[in-house]
Homo-oligomer: A and B are copies of this chain.
Amino acid sequence: MKEAAKICKDASRKLAALGTEQKDKALQFIKDILKSHSNEIISANNQDMQRSEKENLAAPLLKRLKFDSSKIDQVCLGIDSLKDLKDPVGKVLQATELDQGLELYKVACPIGVIGMIFESRPDALVQIATLCLKSGNGVILKGGSEAMETNKILVELIAQATEKAGIPTGWIQLAQSREEVREMLALDEYIDLIIPRGSNEFVKFIMDNSSIPVLGHADGICHLYVDEKADLDMAINVTVDSKTQYVAVCNALETLLVHSKVAEALLPRLKTALEAKNTELRGCSRTCDIIQIKAASDQDWATEYLDYILSIKIVDSMDEAINHIHRYGSGHTESIITADSVTADNFMNRVDSGDLFWNCSTRFSDGFRYGLGAEVGISTNRIHARGPVGMEGLMIYKWKLYGKGQIVEDYSSGKKSFTHRSMGV
């Protein structure tokens, strides 16, 4: 693993300096090879499917593991849209004249080597590998062991295609065993960023056990606050969508906070609407005084159900709602329903989460819906990248200073002085 990581680091440094044309050519070759070798890919996937069925892998996981010709078509479409995206490498982020003939540029560049740890889905492998390629990063992939054969052939084919396009050998590596994950987490000399995708426990394990920065999120305990000035039809509509449109995801609603002034008018109607969607409600004692539902425990406020369950709490003010969110939330996504724009701004400025919404569903918190072009993941980090993260999450910058022999002593002694003139970027 250490040797593989070292090779990947070396390759990534060469890859970082390659031009857009060469990278796009490599993307095209990947697409071609996936199409021309689709039978081999499908047969490798069949092996994984058969073994996993025997091992009684759960049905939803089996479904995610399946990689058939329609999935191959899908990832190829993804490669096409990635080719259309602008190359993020080399973008000038800032330009300053320090003095005449001494010009400073802040230029976007790849981070280096990305360690990607994910569960069953082989389409995620192709997506991440091509994202790293386009952004000039090396990548070490660790997929679930259930997808072993599929992952192996996919990485082999991608490596073959990119080598043909002149991409440095070794830029893509596959880690196979669980033991290798442990090793990866300690290789901070070679791996610059780890992106884990999977269950909360899995991500939390990675975060707690690595000295390498981790981009991602564990919990997603999202809140919707219905203000006293809310349009109640809208509140019901948005709550139902936030909770039930797709329950198994991090941006689904878990706790509804309702201003006491509208609770009596809202809650009975909301109960009807959510029960029609087979959603179990759990409420604070004041909620249970208005509608007959199960009582929520303290544990409920801190739980990401990922299921057809919603906890409801009545609050007497927005301050109380915000305090609840800061106490129990995970800094992911919170929405407010109100007709008052001042209240909305106040909520969005004061709540300390990555994504703050006014009068819309929490389910919009997503890289595709945000129009980011490609989604690397969703981050609840407080540095680097936050919320849905596009390709820019795989980028950092370097400073380039162009001189004509200047020395610092001339500026320290007062012989020369800095102009510090912005050059318009």
Contact = CB atoms under 8 A, between A and B. Distances in A.
A87 to B, nearest CB: 13
Given A17-B350, A245-B408, A245-B412, A213 B386 contact: no
Nearest to A422: B371
A398 B372 CA distance: 15
Copies per assembly: 2
24 contacts: A13-B350, A96-B370, A104-B371, A112-B382, A208-B211, A213-B381, A238-B407, A241-B407, A245-B407, A348-B400, A354-B398, A356-B400, A357-B400, A357-B403, A358-B402, A358-B403, A359-B402, A360-B401, A360-B405, A361-B406, A363-B408, A382-B396, A383-B384, A387-B399
B112 A406 contact: no
Contacts of A384: 383-384, 396
Contacts of A397: 386
Contacts of A213: 213, 381-383
Contacts of A382: 111-112, 192-193, 213, 396
A109 to B, nearest CB: 8
Given A238-B405, A355-B398, A383-B396, 8 more contacts: A213-B381, A237-B405, A348-B400, A355-B399, A356-B400, A357-B403, A360-B401, A387-B399
B112 A361 contact: no
Nearest to A341: B402
A384 B240 CA distance: 37
Q: How large is the interface on A (under 10, 10 to 19, 20 to 34, 35 or more residues)?
A: 35 or more
Contacts of A16: 349-350, 352
A420 B237 contact: no
A11 B384 CA distance: 23
A231 B399 contact: no
A388 interface: yes
A309 to B, nearest CB: 19
Contacts of A234: 405
A355 B401 contact: yes
A348 B398 CA distance: 9
A384 B211 CA distance: 16
A132 to B, nearest CB: 14
Contacts of A240: 407
